[in-house]
Copies of this chain bind each other. A is one copy, B any other.
Amino acid sequence: MEKEVVRITDGVPGTFKDTVAEEAFLTLYLNDKELLTLMCSPDNLKELSAGFLYSSGLIHSADDIEHISVNVSKMTSRITTRKKDLSDDAIFKRIYTSGCGKNMLFYNTLDVAGGKIVTNKIQIQSSQITELVKAFEAKSATYKETGGVHSAAFCSESEIIAFHEDIGRHNAIDKVVGEALFSNMNMENLMVLTSGRISSEVMYKIQKMGCAVIVSRSAPTSLAVKLAEKWNITLVGFVRGRRMNVYTAVERIGVAPRAKV
């Protein structure tokens, strides 16, 4: 959105045209029943819808989707699944709560199920992480313009494969998940980059995807670190230039051979 803004510098006002990050409401219908409304950046809504369903545990692959249609003017997304018994009340209640930042759903999962331990032995050099984060930051076009969005990406050890932005850090991740689903990527061999903080909710998503490595330039929370430990996921935070903190499963990160003394 273009907006005339008063910029005050040292007490002196001036007007200029600012670009403000778009925010919109997308209402999801699952098998003809209203599921929930997401606040999001209004782009890649098909990917967002599918990624959200996947992250919430309602679908497990693109094949589970029979049909998906997005109406951009009404801001609705209608998804029908092959297995129609998804849309019973129990599922709907679960999704409502899981939409609350995934907390209730996750809360139960943490206590009850426990999730799958990641055994993937992929290796990545710390220097490659530095390069990937540099490329990731260079890609963040909307952020540069508006300062108001998060980004997320899937990448191999050498390049970014899927990249999306959204005003919500969860939506940005769901959009890359949606793209991965539609292009049949094997998420288990990809790493996730995010501009946002890593909370337990983010770890929950990562675990669902089966990813072994998550990288952020921001901080993790205590629960995220505990879950990464439990699930054997490599959590890398505070990537700033050639420096980074590896919180868990450090064996996946290769380092330069030490100089001989």
Contact = CB atoms under 8 A, between A and B. Distances in A.
Interface of A: 1, 3, 5-13, 18, 20-25, 36-39, 96-97, 99-101, 103-104, 107, 125-127, 146-148, 167-168, 197, 199-201, 218-225, 238, 242-247, 250, 253, 255-256, 258
Scoring A99, A100, A225, A243 by chain B CB atoms within 10 A of each residue's CB, the highest score goes to A100
B147 A219 contact: yes
A92 to B, nearest CB: 11
Nearest to A4: B247
Contacts of A245: 5-8, 18
Given A10-B243, A167-B199, 12 more contacts: A6-B253, A11-B125, A11-B126, A11-B255, A12-B256, A20-B222, A23-B224, A25-B107, A38-B103, A39-B199, A39-B201, A147-B219
A116 B104 CA distance: 33
Given A200-B39, A220-B148, A221-B21, A253 B8 contact: yes
A23 B200 contact: yes
A39 B107 CA distance: 9
